[in-house]
Amino acid sequence: MVRESWMEIYPYYQNYIQNMLPLFEQSIKFVQDLAPQDLNDNTKILEYLATEEKRSVGKVKAISEFSALYRRDIFTRIWDCVEDLRSTTDLEEIRDIIIDDFEESIDFLNFLSALTTPDQSQYESTNLYLIVQYIQEQIFPRRSSVTEIYSHLIEKSVQYYDIQRHLLMPSTSYRENDENPETPALSAILYKIINEITSLLNLDPNYLQSPKDDTIEIPVIVKDEIFLPFIDSIANNESSNLNQILKRMELELIHDIFIGPTMKFISAGELHNYFRRESISNTRERIIPQLSNESLVLMYLANLSHKRGFISKELINWISSIVALLLYNAALETFLLEENIFYSIFTDLKTEEKILPYMMKLICFDKYLGIDRTKIRDSVQYRKEIFSSIGSQIPSMKKLIEDISKYIITLIEK
Amino acid sequence: MAIAIWAELLEKFQNGLTRSIEFLNERDMENIPGAKERLVEKFTQIRNYLPRNDGELLIKMINDSIQSRLFPNTTDHIVAFNQILNARTPEQDSIISELIDGFISSQGKTLFGGTDRKILDNLVEAFRKRRDFKIVDHQFYAMFGDPNKPKKFVQDRLDKIAEFLGLQIELLHVEQDVRDGKPKDYRFYSFPEEITIILEGKYVQILENGEKIITNDFDKMVFISYFLATQSVNRKKLDNYTINGICAIFSLILLLSFMPKLNVEETNPINRDEHYNPQTMSIIPKSWLSKSILAELMTPLVQIIAYRVGGINWLDKIILTEKNINIHLQAQFLLKDVNKWILGNMCRVEIPIFVEISNIFSEIILGAEGGTE
């Protein structure tokens, strides 16, 4: 796969924004020049569209088709708005509403256009860098150790646990190979296994002398018990790759029979009350588990974040699409009111698929998410996946979008 | 005959409770002092009051709460849908959605050829993109179809979803399509007109020019409510899988409502954990989640629900093979999404239906105790 440079991706990212901006600017000029009574019927609009579409702009066919399509889209919305409001609002006011909506849209496009610079070396002052850092801090932090990442994730989980978990669970249909050294996403079965381990450790643990420290007894559960509720061998794959899976949550197989926490998990978990010590003799302590729903899931995410150079293709596409969507939607929320007549143009697949894939690649660079951008898919199907994931928005994502939007406002004010 | 069956089912549940109590007396998995005793006390209360007035306790819980909010006992589709929609609250939505969504996804897995996609989200998105409150097969294919599979695959899938959810299908033949000039057949999927009327306003906005656009309130819960309404009205025609799934979900709701709330000491770390909200959650004994107790209580309760909701017809379809019991037990996966483990404590999120069922319990037991006095 070709490793594209920043300078190769950046123009692609700018391409459609730079094609849309003049369309909005020309159209606002047309509406500003229009007398309010011209909105009584759509003659002027149709004349304008006919002239624009006939004019030879000396552009390549794809671009003129793109412009014609968007221009029609813009004016369809203008005319819909006039028809909706004509009976209750006077024409001058309607024109002002349309102009306001245009101004919001142009501000949004200008923001997207100035999000980053062609010169990658100046990244620190760009909004793209700052916003991606902000998003990472909430759901996918970078720190020097897994323990630090884990603590940070737990701190942020009060507000964002659902989306932290969402980041691990693509809604797309897939089956990843657990033998692969790259960390895969949490499949529905794996998530059930995590739930089962959490419950069994909390409900009824056995205690075993730690293989690493003979002064403590660690909680363990019997390996086979976690697979009992699975019927028809549906968890066979997970069962045969259990060791690999457990490592990703700082758990380990002991004597090939028991599952127990590693010393690293115990020390990281103790900081958050997920384990407590109980003295059972003068020389021996027992580690009592008291896990929460997020204890293992966030350990999986912390490990993933720490080893972000080695994550599966499915997850790379999912994580970068979620971060790009968060950024795009937050910017949209910052600049456009939901009632804006052009709002749906920006949430339409045909707009998103021209901007988001390149934004995803840009945010994969080292200074940003630092994940392997060569694994970002370029197929039509993959663009549909992005679209599908928009439909799967979860409530906590809305909360994060609001928070990012507030952050964008502080950036603009600065 | 019916009386004998009902009495037998009650007895089975009583026996399950007795064995659970024995199990609890033998083993203590609780970390909160008094938790085990509270659970034993609650199970004993239920066991003792269960047969009174022909099982009034369970009948009232199932009829007045579960059926009235989630599975109305009516033959009128509109009444059922309206009743379920009106019972919605945000907290209840998230829990019912977890429960039913898990069920629909697994049903969907068999229906839609192994795809793990979020079917209901896709449907919402497809409605959102149009201004006539309909889904069209071609557009759905463009949005979510797999280009490596023929369009027919999406049509079949949509037909099955429509049948499963109770949507209507309209066919439109066009002699000359505007795009390629060729004859084309379109399939439109929509809610029946009388259902659209119920949704008007809060969920669907009708513009002056006749266009119908969905509002932000239109979400997958509308489908879930509609699915439940359709299933409740057609309860006599449901297949084994659906019946077992629905009964397992309702049994879980009942079981969860039975659990006593526990008080913890002020010094307990859970009180300092920000994930715990004492206003909306309560700590419940965790040992009821153990396989030994769930296995004892779930199966008889699934049978009780089946009998009360679908009569002998449903009860016959609850097959008690070991595999089937395992399927019921699989519902325990759902429990961890519905409840939360917080620092080793099992916490129930209080939603109206749990509160209501608990209230029925207190009302009947207090009434009975008052009567005895």
Which of B122, B208, B329 has its CB closest to that of A229? B329
Say yes or no for a CB contact (<8 Å) between B273 and A195.
no
What average pLDDT does range A79-99 have in this prediction? Answer: 88
- pLDDT reported for residue A147: 96
Q: In chain A, which residue's Cα lies nearest the Cα of B275?
A: A158
- The dihedral over CA atoms of B145, B149, B152, B157, expressed in degrees to the nearest 10, equals -50
**pLDDT confidence tier of residue B114, bands split at 50, 70 and 90:** very low
Residues of chain B contacting A83 with CB distance shorter than 8 Å: 208-209
> What ipTM was assigned to the predicted interfaces of this complex?
0.84
Distance CA A133, CA A368 (A): 7
Sheet bearing B135-136, strands edge to edge: B135-136, B184-190, B168-174
- Residues A128-149: tens digit of each pLDDT: 999 999 999 999 999 999 999 9
How many CB pairs (< 8 A) connect A and B?
112
- CA distances (Å), B223 to each of B118, B168, B230, in order? 13, 13, 10
What average pLDDT does range A201-230 have in this prediction? Answer: 89
Take residue B160 and report the two structure tokens written for it: 């099955």
- pLDDT reported for residue B280: 87
- pLDDT reported for residue A361: 93
Q: What is the mean pLDDT of chain A?
A: 88
- A151-155, A387-391, B30-34, range with greatest mean pLDDT: A151-155
Distance CA A337, CA A332 (A): 8
- pLDDT reported for residue B104: 59
Take residue B60 and report the two structure tokens written for it: 């009232």
- A166-180, A389-403, B67-81, B235-249, range with greatest mean pLDDT: B67-81
- Residues A42-74: tens digit of each pLDDT: 788 888 888 877 766 555 667 777 788 888 889
- pLDDT reported for residue A66: 77
- pLDDT reported for residue A365: 94
Percent pLDDT > 70 in chain A is 90
Number of residues that this document lists for chain A: 414
* Shortest distance, CA A373 to any CA of chain B (angstroms): 24
Distance CA B354, CA B61 (A): 10
- pLDDT reported for residue B1: 62
Say yes or no for a CB contact (<8 Å) between B333 and A195.
yes
Say yes or no for a CB contact (<8 Å) between B118 and A84.
no
Distance CA A146, CA A300 (A): 10
Q: Is A5 left (phi over 0), alpha (psi -120 to 50) or beta?
A: beta
- Residues B150-163: tens digit of each pLDDT: 778 778 878 888 88
- pLDDT reported for residue B368: 62
Distance CA B143, CA B149 (A): 14
Which residues 241-270 of chain A have a CB within 8 Å of chain B?
Answer: none
Q: Indicate if the pLDDT at residue A228 is higher than 70.
A: yes
| pTM, rounded to two decimals | 0.84
Name the residue among A385, A208, A177, A202 with its Cα closest to residue A296. Answer: A202
- A198-212, A373-387, A393-407, B100-114, range with greatest mean pLDDT: A198-212
Say yes or no for a CB contact (<8 Å) between A158 and B144.
no
Q: Indicate if the pLDDT at residue B107 is higher than 50.
A: yes
- pLDDT reported for residue B19: 95
- Residues A381-410: tens digit of each pLDDT: 766 666 666 555 666 788 899 999 999 999
Which of A161, A292, A388 has its CB closest to that of B117? A388
Amino acid identity of residue A319, one-letter, is: I
- In this structure, the number of other CB atoms found within 10 A of the CB of residue A278 comes to 11
Name the residue among B11, B59, B105 with its Cα closest to residue B254. Answer: B59
Q: Indicate if the pLDDT at residue A367 is higher than 90.
A: yes
- pLDDT reported for residue B211: 83
Q: Indicate if the pLDDT at residue B89 is higher than 80.
A: no
**Sequence-distant (≥ 6) Cβ neighbours of residue A283 within 8 angstroms:** A215
Instruction: Report yes or no: B74 and B233 within 8 Å, Cβ to Cβ.
Output: yes
Q: What is the mean pLDDT of chain B?
A: 82
- In this structure, the number of other CB atoms found within 10 A of the CB of residue A168 comes to 22
Say yes or no for a CB contact (<8 Å) between A195 and B336.
yes
Which of B116, B326, B337 has its CB closest to that of A229? B326
Residues of chain B contacting A339 with CB distance shorter than 8 Å: none
